[in-house]
């Protein structure tokens, strides 16, 4: 059995590194425990829920029980009902989660992991009494961060996510997707760099506070929400004694109602990408601030929503606004 598991892992790694695509399958086919579906960027874990015992709240408790923090678990139907009147799903939540220890280990090696700090998931249920959780698979995390699928901390993180899903829904299974990923080898990230020059009356803390206040003030009038903020340096690095490497490292979670609402109608699983995270950091031995977030093309290319004109239009508009805001703030 050990040889069989080793061979299976080796085969999966080879397939991922070679960007091989699986043969087309029918959607919503139940998978075996081998979880072949991890070759997709998004994974959906589903369970029958006829008595309604599984809820976003019980799922949150299950994630916490295995060592995952859940700083946000938002019932999107509340603002949707007020803003748009019509609901697409009986239940629709967007949640964020992370494990601080594994996040620390990954960020220490791969600063770009900030684009998934925290990770996101969507939870939805319709009239069929089937509840679903959408998260990124090991392939999805690896592709967008350029972290090898063989990295032991990435393997540990994805194993923890799987344990959380199985704890939340003991009778659940991964379902087969029919998504055709257009860019299986590209990270599809959006990155900016800014030279940091302090004037005589300013220190580094004042600089980043002023910078963040400026882009926050430009985002909010355009309908962007910032539901979560993590001071990675203070909350994740400092407790581990990892000091002196960064002057600052911050991540934000971003959300926009008029983007996720149309997308969630036919692609509720896109919540594995939303709320989306972006990072700002500066290493102490550099004079450059790095800013990064994931392009909306990840949503479009991994959920089969290419023909969804309304959803793709809203996503690309949001991408454009974010890029313009960053350019304006950097130029100032």
The mean per-residue pLDDT over the stretch 294-304 comes to 89
Residue 133 binned pLDDT confidence (cut-offs 50, 70, 90): very high
Instruction: Tell whether 13 is covered by a domain.
Output: no
Domain count, the chain: 1
**Whether the Cβ atoms of residue 59 and residue 156 lie closer than 8 Å to each other:** no
pLDDT value at residue 39: 62
**Whether the Cβ atoms of residue 70 and residue 251 lie closer than 8 Å to each other:** no
Instruction: Report d(CA 146, CA 148) in Å as an integer.
Output: 6
Instruction: Report d(CA 254, CA 229) in Å as an integer.
Output: 9
Residues 6+ apart with CB under 8 A from 215: 325, 326, 329
Instruction: Tell whether 86 is covered by a domain.
Output: yes
**Whether the Cβ atoms of residue 36 and residue 22 lie closer than 8 Å to each other:** yes
Residues 6+ apart with CB under 8 A from 184: 19, 21, 143
Residue 80 binned pLDDT confidence (cut-offs 50, 70, 90): very high
Q: Residue 17: is its pLDDT beyond 90?
A: no
Under DSSP, the state recorded for 117 is S
**Whether the Cβ atoms of residue 264 and residue 122 lie closer than 8 Å to each other:** yes
Residue 232's nearest CA partner among 221, 224, 240 is 240
> Residue 276 pairs with which residues in a beta bridge?
254
Domain that holds residue 99: 22-331
Instruction: Tell whether 5 is covered by a domain.
Output: no
Element spanning 311, H or E = helix 309-331
Tell me the percentage of the chain whose pLDDT exceeds 70.
88
More confident residue, 302 or 102: 102
For residues 168-180, one letter each, b for 16 or more C-beta atoms within 10 angstroms of the residue's C-beta and e for the rest, the string is bbeebbbbbbebe
pLDDT tens sequence across 211-259: 999 989 998 888 999 999 999 999 999 999 999 999 999 999 999 999 9
Query: Which residue shows structure tokens 């600052």?
Result: 248
Residue 149's nearest CA partner among 255, 8, 328 is 8
Instruction: Tell whether 77 is covered by a domain.
Output: yes
Instruction: Tell whether 215 is covered by a domain.
Output: yes
Instruction: Tell whether 12 is covered by a domain.
Output: no
pLDDT value at residue 99: 98
> Residue 195 pairs with which residues in a beta bridge?
288
Instruction: Tell whether 11 is covered by a domain.
Output: no
> Helices marked H in 146-227 — which ranges?
152-168, 204-219
Q: Residue 315: is its pLDDT beyond 70?
A: yes
Instruction: Tell whether 244 is covered by a domain.
Output: yes
Instruction: Report d(CA 279, CA 192) in Å as an integer.
Output: 10
- Assign residue 253 the CATH number of its domain: 3.30.310.70
Cα atoms found within 13 Å of the Cα of residue 180, Cβ hemisphere only:
7
Residue 75's nearest CA partner among 133, 120, 119, 124 is 124
């Amino acid at each position: 059995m050990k040889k069989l598991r080793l061979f299976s892992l080796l085969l999966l790694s080879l397939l991922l590194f070679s960007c091989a695509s699986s043969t087309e399958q029918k959607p919503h086919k139940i998978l075996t425990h081998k979880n072949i579906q991890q070759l997709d960027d998004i994974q959906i874990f589903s369970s029958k829920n006829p008595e309604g015992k599984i809820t976003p709240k019980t799922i949150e408790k299950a994630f916490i029980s295995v060592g995952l923090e859940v700083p946000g678990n938002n019932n999107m139907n509340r603002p949707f009902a007020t803003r748009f009147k019509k609901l697409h799903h009986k239940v629709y939540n967007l949640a964020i989660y992370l494990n601080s220890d594994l996040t620390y280990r990954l960020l220490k090696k791969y600063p770009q992991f900030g684009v998934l700090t925290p990770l996101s998931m969507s939870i939805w249920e319709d009239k069929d009494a089937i509840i679903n959780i959408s998260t990124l698979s090991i392939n999805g995390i690896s592709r967008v961060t350029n972290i090898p699928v063989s990295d032991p901390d990435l393997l540990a993180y994805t194993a923890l996510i799987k344990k959380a899903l199985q704890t939340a829904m003991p009778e659940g299974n991964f379902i087969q997707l029919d998504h055709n990923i257009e860019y299986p080898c590209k990270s599809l990230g959006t990155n900016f760099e800014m030279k940091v020059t302090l004037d005589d009356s300013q220190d580094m803390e004042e600089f980043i506070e002023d910078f963040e206040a400026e882009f926050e003030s430009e985002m909010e009038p355009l309908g962007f929400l910032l539901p979560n903020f993590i001071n990675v340096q203070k909350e994740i690095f400092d407790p581990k004694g990892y000091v002196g490497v960064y002057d600052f490292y911050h991540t934000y979670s971003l959300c926009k109602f008029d983007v996720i609402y149309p997308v969630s109608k036919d692609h509720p699983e896109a919540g594995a990408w939303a709320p989306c995270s972006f990072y700002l950091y500066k290493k102490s031995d550099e004079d450059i601030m790095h800013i990064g977030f994931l392009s909306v093309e990840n949503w479009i290319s991994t959920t089969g929503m290419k023909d969804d004109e309304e959803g793709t239009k809203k996503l690309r508009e949001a991408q454009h606004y974010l890029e313009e805001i960053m350019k304006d703030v950097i130029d100032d």
